Structure 1
Amino acid sequence: MEAVANTKPPVFVTVSALDAGHLTLPEHLFITDADPEKCNTVPSLSFLIQHPSPSPSRPSSNVTNLVFDLGIKRDLDRYTPAQQEHTAQRQPVITEPDCAASLRYGAAKEEGVTGEEVLLDPGKDVDIAVISHVHWDHVGTPSDFSGATFAVGSGTLDLLKNGAGHLYPAELFNDDELPADRTVEFPPVPGSSEYAEAASDIPKNTAAAPDTQARLPRSADRWSWQPLGGFPHAIDFFGDGSVYVVDSPGHLYGHVNLLARIGDRKYVYLGGDCCHDTRILSGETGIAMYGDGKGGLRSVHVDTNAARRTLDRIKSFVTEKNEVEVEVVLAHDAGWRAGNRHRFWPGKL
């Protein structure tokens, strides 16, 4: 993992999991050889990443707070009508605690062992929100994060406004989902051809508005996609090897993952929706295919082949002989959530 090497002293971050709602997934839409009647209620996880640097939006703080994904909106009525039709097919949907409540009160709130003391105020204390992709169960309630700058994959703003082809019409998204004056896209991925199955529908990159109020790390003016291990495209978010944004094509346009360095030889890979079941990542099962309504087949991914390539890269990255430990955490892993409650905020991974 040569790109992680740095002559300066290593910089570590802390990562805490956050409950951000639950939804119910029918197995046959996600994995091969599934029981057609089986459904699983799973979390939509968010994560708090704390970086030891002066906050770009709170000068008095020596910690930058970054949240990865916002989960499910606590008010389902705030989804578009087309989105609400989709949420109706994912019942039960559990909206509490959402990402904001988890930041305020932590995981112990559910056991009733805390008072009303606020641990982190999402409107005042969160500096940056990185959204893996803009499906309804990851966008949460951005208005809760009134002081944060939002960072999203290239093409995301175009996707929110115009949709992308018949499988992803505009009505499946909220045009004003993200604050225009505080949202930036990562640079376009050079020479990207991962979405060959839907090349004509690929959303275009949107440059940040000249009057944007976005506050980013000092390294932002040097952001560029560089190889990292087996990943062809990654961005050193803080410029110190502590957090990498990894281009993770396949699931939805602009889909990104995060790699966080939490120890000298220990990393956490936040995989978003690279897949929806750990058995796919382990190779025990495959990605389910089903009818696309036009006589063909599709999966839950916009480009299934690209999604498979991303999974292959993740598996290779985790197992390569680089003398580091990499833990992969998926957004909808109910088993991981059940076995790691002590690692939810204010606990740490």
Structure 2
Amino acid sequence: MAAKPTFSVPSGETAQVSIIETGMRMDDVTFGFLLAPPVDGFEAFSIPGWSFLIQSSKGQKVLFDLCFTPDKEIYPPGTWDLIKATGSVVHGNKHVADILKDNNFDPAEINSVIWSHHHWDHIGDVTTFPKTTEVVVGPGFKKNFLPGYPTDPSSYIEERHFEGRILREVEFSTSSLKIGKFRALDFFGDGSFYLLDAPGHDWGHLSGLVRTTSNPDTFIFLGGDVVHHGGELRPTKYLPIPDEVQFPLPDRVRARGVSACPKGSQFRELNIKRGRKPDEPFFDPVLVVDMNDAVESVDKAQEADAQSNIFFVFAHDASIQGVVEFFPQSANAWKEKGWKDKHMWKFLGDVTLATTA
């Protein structure tokens, strides 16, 4: 195991963060649409979608991603083209704003909605929030994605999202702040929540880091779509697969007669058979606008993931199901509840069949 990399974060306040279970699920997503190289027994998968509520100690409230809108009939044609390309079936029937209301939280309290990027399964429907809620986007958003639909008939960003509302594009070039190796912005100005420059999957893609406790410091890393599967993050030279791994086997694996988790050595051997190193992630990203940027962002994210005080959760992280507590519960006590350890190697269930071939 290589020495754990340094991931420096300045001192600061804490923020409250909750993971919102949006009810979104995409079934039968074609493996090759998001991941490479292939692995036996893993041809398609289902992915959920999470939204994150972050509240500063001074009362500022933001949402990081809104997932999708259940009102599918309003999607512009370009969105449907992308959905069809995934090969998936989309489920879900609630806006994030409705989930807030169901839990006695007024959507009018949300100061900002931050889009990690412009894809349909992250932007939701901002019109379900009052005009006082601003939309925050990454660098280059306006240049690359405006005007939206219908002025640009091929766009799948709708102009109605911005009508009468502040659209704020953040810029990292004006800040010298770095979190780990990420260019960063202190969003609340108190060190409790940072936006991170993580391009590659999309132009101006944003990730986030929330300080969940202090003395000692712990954090939740909001990955967005830096990765789409745990096998893009792990294993690494910092986090090799342990000899003994325990995780719940997926139903499709049990249906093939597998009843016990393979040894760590079997997963390492699988990677070698696939032409990869035993401590190299199983998969590479596929759905990107710039491969060099995407790989660099993943490399930086792996350094964060290797920290014992950082819980890495990406937007479609199926492995947190059955591990975390969702909104209205807080996620701040993730470390004392052992969520990271329970979640770390769950994704191996998806590649288990290949170890028995």
Q: Same fold (TM over 0.5)?
A: yes
CA apart distance, 1:347: 3.8
Give the Cα separation in 2 of the matches to 1:183 and 1:148: 10
- Which residue identity lines up with residue 154 of structure 1 in the other structure? P
Aligned equivalent of 1:93: 90
Give the Cα separation in 2 of the matches to 1:184 and 1:80: 23
- State the Cα deviation string for residues 295-347 of structure 1 (Å, max 9, x = none): xxxx3011122111111111123336xxx60010010111213322x233234
Aligned equivalent of 2:178: 227
Aligned equivalent of 2:202: 252
CA apart distance, 1:151: 0.8
User: In 2 relative to 1, CA 36–182 (structure 1 residues): closer, same or farther, beyond 3 Å?
Assistant: farther
- State the Cα deviation string for residues 239-273 of structure 1 (Å, max 9, x = none): 11111100001110010000000101100000000
User: In 2 relative to 1, CA 35–102 (structure 1 residues): closer, same or farther, beyond 3 Å?
Assistant: farther
CA apart distance, 1:177: 5.1
Q: Number of aligned pairs?
A: 271
Q: Percent identity?
A: 26
CA apart distance, 1:17: 0.7
Aligned equivalent of 1:348: 331
Aligned equivalent of 2:115: 131
CA apart distance, 1:226: 1.8
User: In 2 relative to 1, CA 45–285 (structure 1 residues): closer, same or farther, beyond 3 Å?
Assistant: same
Give the Cα separation in 1 of the matches to 2:226 and 2:289: 11
Aligned equivalent of 2:292: 305
Aligned equivalent of 1:336: 320
CA apart distance, 1:3: 5.9
Aligned equivalent of 1:68: 64
Give the Cα separation in 1 of the matches to 2:57 and 2:41: 47
Gaps of 5+ in 1: 54-62, 106-117, 164-168, 191-222, 289-298
| Residue of 134, 137, 144 corresponding to 1:149 | 134
Aligned equivalent of 1:215: none
CA apart distance, 1:39: 2.1
Tell me if 1:158 matches 2:159.
no
User: In 2 relative to 1, CA 347–183 (structure 1 residues): closer, same or farther, beyond 3 Å?
Assistant: same
Give the Cα separation in 2 of the matches to 1:285 and 1:79: 34
- Judge which range, 25-34 or 239-248, deviates more: 25-34
Give the Cα separation in 2 of the matches to 1:4 and 1:347: 22
Gaps of 5+ in 2: 1-5, 236-280, 333-357
- Within a 5 Å distance, the mapping from 1:97-108 to structure 2 comes to 97-105=94-102
User: In 2 relative to 1, CA 120–127 (structure 1 residues): closer, same or farther, beyond 3 Å?
Assistant: same
CA apart distance, 1:82: 2.1
Aligned equivalent of 2:345: none
User: In 2 relative to 1, CA 182–26 (structure 1 residues): closer, same or farther, beyond 3 Å?
Assistant: same
Aligned equivalent of 1:274: 226
- State the Cα deviation string for residues 11-66 of structure 1 (Å, max 9, x = none): 1111101123222321122222245873222111110001111xxxxxxxxx2111
SS of equivalent to 1:143: helix
SS of equivalent to 2:109: coil
CA apart distance, 1:170: 6.7
Aligned equivalent of 2:104: 119
Query: Structure 1 runs of 4+ off > 4 angstroms?
Result: none
Tell me if 1:17 matches 2:25.
no
Contact 1:76/1:84 (8 A) holds in 2: no
Give the Cα separation in 1 of the matches to 2:87 and 2:104: 31
**TM-score with structure 2 setting the length:** 0.70
Give the Cα separation in 1 of the matches to 2:125 and 2:110: 13
Give the Cα separation in 1 of the matches to 2:301 and 2:81: 33
- Which residue identity lines up with residue 287 of structure 1 in the other structure? D
